[in-house]
């Protein structure tokens, strides 16, 4: 099949999707694009597959690791002391081996590789590690990474190649948190480096960065490890689902994140391969404490019991997901079924009746002159969250609760999170501590997108702190049992679904991308088939081998 015929077929196949999703926000155009978005042969394939063009679902707020970039590693530009493998096990990266840990669990000592240079040519040493971590935990930095490092009391350079971390109390998740990318100490004095200036030790350096459009990564010639075969990678930032689908249909890109509705139309075509990834990526309704309706316990209970999660999966997600009841995925050893609830509309209505939310003649409810009505925000252009918001609106209406979906930019959403409900996404499969503490500890209330609803509970804080510090596995599991019991009791959020991550990648061009990976919420440059981009080989190389 010729590329031209296939592109026309894809364009026709995706037509229905574009007609539906393009109207999610008529004011928004695809944020990628421009004259060079697909400049290499075949949208990025190149003669030997050395170039690739990928359309991601959005642009990172920063490429600086201390500001949250590549929070779970695999940043391609930056590297940490350790990395997490596809089976979620930590292994040394910039460190020569896993850390030496003291008997009391309070000190971790790492030895650094001696053959590593940053993209600016400077050599990696212990002072770079110290500066990176000190900046990350500095309150003035306001880094989201600080939530993962609350036990870190001191980081010091023992010598040029040895770094020692001292904790105020044991932290079972600490090794997993040392995926934090290391940057030169000079870049962090006195302010964190701007995105365009970030240099790391990774296999790729930033060649070109255009905010709102794209970032181009180029293989770093002096990389300490094996040179990647894909030497140039262009990540085009296309927030709107319909615009990404159009890029695939036109042949402009080699890979993309797509909604499930689009995948169904292309998976029979031999131009692209479809990739479906299991995840710990949940969607939930953040119900802010300050909202008179969304913050009411009876409203939360009614939605928790009355919403049909499987119907959300089948409808809003087109089957590409599974019901969710909490932030810890069912596969995790800490998971407790105490959070699970059977859909029971009658029980939901009874909870509203008992709390004084009286049904009106038109079927809606009110209490003391206050209508059971609240706004539900979602990011415009995100078809999946829009579908969830609309499905929640429909199901909630059967309970007499009026939910008013509103699609907004993230810039408009952030200042309103204290008062308006939000379709929220987060989650990771790595550690129960790292997937709960930032979201529900009172110290993280209103810290960016951590705990955006302002939930505060002494009992929850105690359980989270116990789980974070417990070194014994049974004690950890018991602590997270309490965390989940508290979530089930307080219902600060209403958890709905875990979403499947769906992608396409140009067929018969690269090998090595198909690995068994359970993805976290963050999956832009880090997730998808390009999670291990440096390890890809071209099909011509594979054939030669």
From first to last of its 545 residues, what are the pLDDT tens digits of the chain?
Answer: 333 333 333 433 443 333 333 333 322 223 333 333 343 334 444 455 899 999 998 888 888 999 888 888 878 999 999 998 888 889 999 999 999 999 999 999 999 999 999 999 999 999 999 999 999 999 998 888 999 999 999 999 999 999 999 999 999 899 999 999 999 998 775 454 555 678 999 999 999 999 899 999 999 999 999 999 999 999 999 988 888 888 988 889 999 998 887 776 677 778 899 998 889 999 999 999 999 999 999 999 999 999 999 999 999 999 999 999 999 999 899 999 999 999 999 999 999 999 999 999 999 999 999 999 999 999 998 889 999 999 999 999 999 999 999 999 999 999 999 999 999 999 988 889 989 999 999 999 999 899 999 999 999 999 999 999 998 899 999 999 999 999 999 999 999 999 999 999 999 999 999 988 888 887 777 888 999 999 999 876 545 55
CA distance 21 to 243: 9
Name the residue ranges covered by the structural domains of the chain: 3-59+211-277+501-544, 65-196, 282-499
CATH 3.40.50.970 for domain 65-196: no
Q: Select from 263, 229, 323, 224 the least CA-distant residue to 528.
A: 263
| Dihedral of alpha carbons 527, 248, 29, 12, sign | negative
Q: Which CATH class is domain 282-499?
A: alpha beta
Helix (H), strand (E), coil (C) string for 511-536: ECCCCCCCECCCCCCCCCHHHHHHHC
On the question of a common fold for 3-59+211-277+501-544 and 65-196, the answer reads no
E strands, 243-369, are 255-257, 272-277, 282-286, 321-323, 358-359, 365-367
- Cα–Cα distance, 497 to 309 (Å, whole number): 7
**Residues composing the chain:** 545
395 in Cβ contact with 285 (< 8 Å)? no
Taking the whole predicted model, whether its pTM rises above 0.85 is answered as no
**What CATH number is given for 3-59+211-277+501-544 in this structure?**
3.40.190.10
Residue 244 CA neighbour count, 13 Å, CB half: 30
- Nearest alpha carbon to residue 76 among 201, 231, 188: 201
C-beta contacts of 85-88 below 8 A and 24+ residues apart = 86/515, 86/516, 86/517, 86/532, 87/516, 88/429, 88/430, 88/518
Eight-state DSSP code of residue 321: E
């Amino acid at each position: 099949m010729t590329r031209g015929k296939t592109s026309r077929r894809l364009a026709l196949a995706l037509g229905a999707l574009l007609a539906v999703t393009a109207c999610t926000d008529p004011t928004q155009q695809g944020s990628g694009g421009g004259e060079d978005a697909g400049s290499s042969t075949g949208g990025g394939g190149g003669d030997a597959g050395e170039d690739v063009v990928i359309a991601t679902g959005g642009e990172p707020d920063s490429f600086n690791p201390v500001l949250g970039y590549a929070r779970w590693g695999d940043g391609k530009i930056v590297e940490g002391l350790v990395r997490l493998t596809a089976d979620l096990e930590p292994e040394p990266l910039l460190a020569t081996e896993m850390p030496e840990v003291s008997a009391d669990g309070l000190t971790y000592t790492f030895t650094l590789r001696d053959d590593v240079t940053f993209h600016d040519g400077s050599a990696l040493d212990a002072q770079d590690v110290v500066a990176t971590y000190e900046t990350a935990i500095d309150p003035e930095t306001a880094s989201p990474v600080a939530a993962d490092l609350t036990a870190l009391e001191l980081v010091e350079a023992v010598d040029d190649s040895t770094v020692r971390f001292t904790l105020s109390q044991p932290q079972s998740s600490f090794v997993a948190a040392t995926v934090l990318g290391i940057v030169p100490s000079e870049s962090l004095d006195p302010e964190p480096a701007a995105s365009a200036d970030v240099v790391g030790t990774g296999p790729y350096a930033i060649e070109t960065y255009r905010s709102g459009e794209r970032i181009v990564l180029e293989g770093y010639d002096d990389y300490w490890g094996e040179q990647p075969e894909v030497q140039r990678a262009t990540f085009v930032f296309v927030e709107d689902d319909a615009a990404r689908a159009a890029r695939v249909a036109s042949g402009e890109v080699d890979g993309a994140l797509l909604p499930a509705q689009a995948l169904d139309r292309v998976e029979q075509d031999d131009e692209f391969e479809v990739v479906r990834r299991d995840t710990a990526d949940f969607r939930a309704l953040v119900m802010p404490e300050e909202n008179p309706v969304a913050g009411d316990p009876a409203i939360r209970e009614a939605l928790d019991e009355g919403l049909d999660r499987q119907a959300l999966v089948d409808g809003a997600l087109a089957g590409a997901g599974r019901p969710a009841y909490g932030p810890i995925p069912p596969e995790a050893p800490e998971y407790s079924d105490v959070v699970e609830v059977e859909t029971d509309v009658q029980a939901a209505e009874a909870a509203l009746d008992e709390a004084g939310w009286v049904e009106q003649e038109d079927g809606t409810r009110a209490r003391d002159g206050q209508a059971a009505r609240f706004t539900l925000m979602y990011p415009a252009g995100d078809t999946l969250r829009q579908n969830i918001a609309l499905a929640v609106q429909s199901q909630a209406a059967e309970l007499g609760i009026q939910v008013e979906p509103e699609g907004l930019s993230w810039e408009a959403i952030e200042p309103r999170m204290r008062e308006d409900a939000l379709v929220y996404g987060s989650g990771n499969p790595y550690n129960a501590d790292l997937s709960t503490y930032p979201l529900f500890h009172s110290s993280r209330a209103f810290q960016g997108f951590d705990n955006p609803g302002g939930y505060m509970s002494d009992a929850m804080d105690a359980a989270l702190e116990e789980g974070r510090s417990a070194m014994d596995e049974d004690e950890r599991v018991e602590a997270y049992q309490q965390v989940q019991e508290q979530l089930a009791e307080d219902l600060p959020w209403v958890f709905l679904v875990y979403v499947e991550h769906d992608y396409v990648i140009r067929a018969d061009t690269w090998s090595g991308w198909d690995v068994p990976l359970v993805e976290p919420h963050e999956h832009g440059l880090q997730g998808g088939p390009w999670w291990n981009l440096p390890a890809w080989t071209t099909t011509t190389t594979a054939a030669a081998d």
